[in-house]
Amino acid sequence: MANDHDVIIAGGGLNGTTLALALAQAGLRIALVDRLSAEYRSAADFDGRSYALALASSRLLGALGLWDMLNKAAQPIHEVKASDGRAGEGSSPFFLHFDRGEIEDGPMGYLVEDRFLRRVLLRAVDESPRIDHLPDETITAQTVGSHAEAETASGRTLRGRLLVGADGRQSGTAARAGIKRFERDYHQDALVCAIQHEKPHHGIAHQFFMPGGPLAILPLSQDRSSIVWSERRPLARHIASLDDAAFLAMLCPRVGDFLGDFRLCGLRFSYPLGLSMARQITDRRLALVGDAAMGVHPIAGQGLNQGLRDVGTLAEVIADANRRGEDFGASDVLARYRQWRSFDRAALAMATDGFNALFSNDNPVLRLGRDLGMSLVTAMPGLRRRLMREAAGLNGDLPRLLQGQPI
Ligand SMILES: Cc1cc2nc3c(=O)[nH]c(=O)nc-3n(C[C@H](O)[C@H](O)[C@H](O)COP(=O)(O)OP(=O)(O)OC[C@H]3O[C@@H](n4cnc5c(N)ncnc54)[C@H](O)[C@@H]3O)c2cc1C
């Protein structure tokens, strides 16, 4: 059975679903394929992550008509504090401090739990008359010519003018097209959980740079915080295997007492960390977005944000080409997407890779250097403001959706 669509999207994760909604808003017909069932992906315990969404990302979700549904559960980030730390010693006196009052646009971003974001996206996909959502279907083969074709494990053939790989770090779409990846294993895992605490967090996101990796304590609604604790893999695996009481006994001295007593709420998760970067993000009638294009270390909370910048950029390039009557799967159109994303991709890969190498160690010389560096940035309002706008996703040549405008 052949199905004709404008665009076939392989992968219905956060980026694949958002792209489908953006292209549907531009009037295109989309096939959105995911190997997992929609029920499984929308289950509350599917993924324990909470995302620090940059302000620009929240504007993109607003332009797609989704932010009103998310806003109630989203926690605004009013301040960010980063400092060196060691278990039991608290944070170092040198720190980096960003305050929302320094940029006129509003909060730097929001913390949104996966269980809310994914459900809102999947519901919107199912309500869209222009999206054929095909859950429980795995894409197993693809061909390109005058059209792109994708075959699924159940024997379905999908046809479109463009195939988009939104199928994550192990992107089969990229592999089948012969696109190679640059991979770096950080030999760290991120231990992720949520805690309920006695004292309010005041909307402040904390990052402690510990010898084994950064520990992020990110504010959630209702006096809860999300913990993203990166540790060297053997120790992380040991900590992950502990029961909740023993896990908390390891976590407490690292967090310190500024939130008062706290307890775990919900399940614990762990994620291996690495950089996975596709060497090219376009090929004949093919484009990659999200982690399929590049998956980074969560040290700066930018992975999904950069995926949404892929989504906003690709959607705009396709929509504009379509309005002009161009074949949006053609190489010269896809080159616009590739060029628009190239600087941002390279800069983020280098920044996250470099920060992790600089901060995930206990070398006294590097420690002194970075403490001084953080104090220096804190003392320079112009530079601090520029970095804040960068983290909020407001710098650079932004596609319309990331400015909160319709496609
Ligand atoms: C610990 C941690 C914390 C993070 N925190 C933040 C943060 O605060 N802010 C931020 O911006 N980012 C953050 N990130 C990054 C963010 O989680 C990822 O960038 C994002 O989830 C990637 O989504 P995706 O849709 O691109 O890929 P994925 O979530 O990997 O989705 C890929 C989808 O493709 C499907 N699929 C795969 N193969 C096939 C196939 N052959 N056929 C059909 N379907 C297929 C899969 O089932 C899956 O649903 C964090 C990451 C980690 C590890």
Quick: pLDDT tens for 353-407. 988 888 877 788 887 887 888 887 778 888 888 888 888 888 889 999 999 999 9
Helix (H) or strand (E) holding 174: helix 172-176
Using a 6 Å cutoff on CB, does residue 33 contact ligand 1? yes
The pick from 9, 17, 19, 35 for probing ligand 1's pocket by mutation, whose C-beta has the most ligand atoms within 8 angstroms, reads: 35
What are the φ and ψ backbone dihedral angles of 210, each rounded to 5 degrees? -95, 160
Q: Report the separation in Å between the CA atom of 276 and the middle of ligand 1, taken as the mean of its atom positions.
A: 12
- C-alpha distances in angstroms, 68 versus 131, 244, 316, 373? 21, 35, 23, 39
Using a 6 Å cutoff on CB, does residue 47 contact ligand 1? no
Assigned token pair, 129? 């008359």
Q: Say how many C-beta atoms besides its own lie within 10 A of residue 95's C-beta.
A: 19
pTM of the model: 0.95
Using a 6 Å cutoff on CB, does residue 165 contact ligand 1? no
Using a 6 Å cutoff on CB, does residue 194 contact ligand 1? no
List the beta bridge partners of residue 184. Answer: 275
Angle at 58 between CA 56 and CA 64, to 5 degrees: 110
Residue 94's pLDDT is: 66
Closest atom of ligand 1 to 230 CA is 1
Using a 6 Å cutoff on CB, does residue 20 contact ligand 1? no
Using a 6 Å cutoff on CB, does residue 229 contact ligand 1? no
Neighbour-count burial of 73, counting CB atoms closer than 10 A to its CB (0-12 exposed, 13-18 middle, 19+ buried): middle
Residue 1's pLDDT is: 45
Q: Report the separation in Å between the CA atom of 404 and the middle of ligand 1, taken as the mean of its atom positions.
A: 23
Residues of the chain with pLDDT under 70: 1-3, 90-91, 93-94
- From the list 42, 13, 3, the residue with the least C-alpha distance to 304 is 13
Q: What is the greatest pairwise CA distance in the chain? A: 65
Tell how strand 139-144 and strand 148-152 pair up. antiparallel
